[in-house]
Chain A
Amino acid sequence: MLPPDSSIEGVLEQPGGTCSILYTLDPIESITKRITDPRFGAIATFIGTTRNSFQGKVVTKLEYQAYTKLALKTISRIVDDARTQTPDFQAIVQHRIGVVPVGEPSIVIAVSAPHRKEAFQTCEFILEEVKRKAQIWKREYYEGEDESEAEWKSNV
């Protein structure tokens, strides 16, 4: 089955925060370079990678789809929410769509902030909220099972 027409690449840029949904993530070095800021002394990054097993079953691949225009709005608003705790930071959030082979990154969050505590906390806050709210879905395919039976997962 083809993915939804609304599951497309997209970027939403705001001052201090860029959110993207992409088939391929940018290299981490280029991401951290973009948020490097002489005012800030810390950069925290999170990379989520796809695992090869789930409850004893071997995962052969994962597939992500998004309601991109809404997911980008949601992620941007999460970045805005983070500013109520830490007003000064820069963030880049990238989420992948399409087939993601096992062991590859599916999400990158990079945050630069004045100090390490703010950088870690903001990065974690964005991650937890994205997992809770962003209109993105993951499908896991298991070895030995028909592809049509592959489950769509839920973070709940």
Chain B
Amino acid sequence: MSSSPSEHITILYFAAASTTLGITSETIPIPPQAHPFYLSQLKDLLVERHTQLKGQSVGQTLRRILDTSQWSIDAEMVDDGDDEEKLGRIEVRNGMEVGVICPVSGG
């Protein structure tokens, strides 16, 4: 079963992620050939995308940032974000708002 042609997710970037990419959000298509699409696949997708758009250096910096960041989906944290197996079971679906949550520094 393939996804409909217009399935998209919104990625929110903050702090170092937004500074590196020069953007604070983007809406990207879920790859039609990768259905269902899981959260464990999102890092590679974003790194590939921004490597193509902005070059190796930006892509590598983004990967380093994503390696130390957590995810949020629809304004809820994904717990156990280090657990690749768990991320491999979380489906990313059309319309979701996914946040890249770098290490925080409030207070």
- B interface, by DSSP: helix, strand, loop or mixed? mixed
* Contact A2–B24 (Cβ < 8 Å): yes
A136 CA / B106 CA spacing, docked (Å): 5
- CB-based A-B contact count at 8 angstroms: 91
Q: What B residues does A6 contact at CB under 8 A?
A: 12, 24-25
Q: What B residues does A2 contact at CB under 8 A?
A: 24
Q: What A residues does B13 contact at CB under 8 A?
A: 4
A1 and B22 in contact, given A7-B14, A133-B104 (Cβ under 8 angstroms): yes
A148 CA / B14 CA spacing, docked (Å): 15
* Contact A4–B72 (Cβ < 8 Å): no
A4 and B24 in contact, given A69-B75, A135-B101 (Cβ under 8 angstroms): yes
Q: Does residue A34 face the partner (Cβ distance < 8 Å to B)?
A: no
* Contact A65–B76 (Cβ < 8 Å): no
Q: What B residues does A48 contact at CB under 8 A?
A: 107
Q: Which residue of A lies closest to B72 (CB)?
A: A70
Interface residues of B in 57-107 (CB under 8 A from A): 72, 75-77, 99, 101-107
A67 and B107 in contact, given A2-B24, A4-B24, A137-B102 (Cβ under 8 angstroms): no
- A interface, by DSSP: helix, strand, loop or mixed? mixed
Whole-angstrom distance between the Cβ of B70 and the nearest chain A Cβ: 10
Whole-angstrom distance between the Cβ of B101 and the nearest chain A Cβ: 6
Q: What B residues does A74 contact at CB under 8 A?
A: 77
A135 CA / B75 CA spacing, docked (Å): 10
* Contact A4–B18 (Cβ < 8 Å): yes
* Contact A65–B107 (Cβ < 8 Å): no
Q: Does residue B6 face the partner (Cβ distance < 8 Å to A)?
A: no
Interface residues of A in 12-37 (CB under 8 A from B): none
Q: What A residues does B103 contact at CB under 8 A?
A: 154-156
Q: What B residues does A4 contact at CB under 8 A?
A: 12-14, 18, 24-25
Instruction: List the 10 shortest-distance A-B pairs measured between CB atoms, nearest first.
Output: A136-B106, A131-B107, A154-B103, A4-B24, A137-B15, A153-B105, A152-B15, A138-B105, A134-B106, A152-B16
Name 19 interchain pairs, CB-CB below 8 A, sorted by A. A4-B13, A5-B25, A7-B14, A70-B75, A70-B99, A73-B75, A95-B106, A95-B107, A127-B107, A131-B104, A132-B104, A134-B104, A135-B72, A135-B99, A135-B106, A136-B105, A136-B106, A148-B19, A154-B103
A residues apposed to B, CB below 8 Å: 1-7, 48, 64-67, 69-71, 73-74, 95, 106-107, 127, 130-139, 148, 152-156
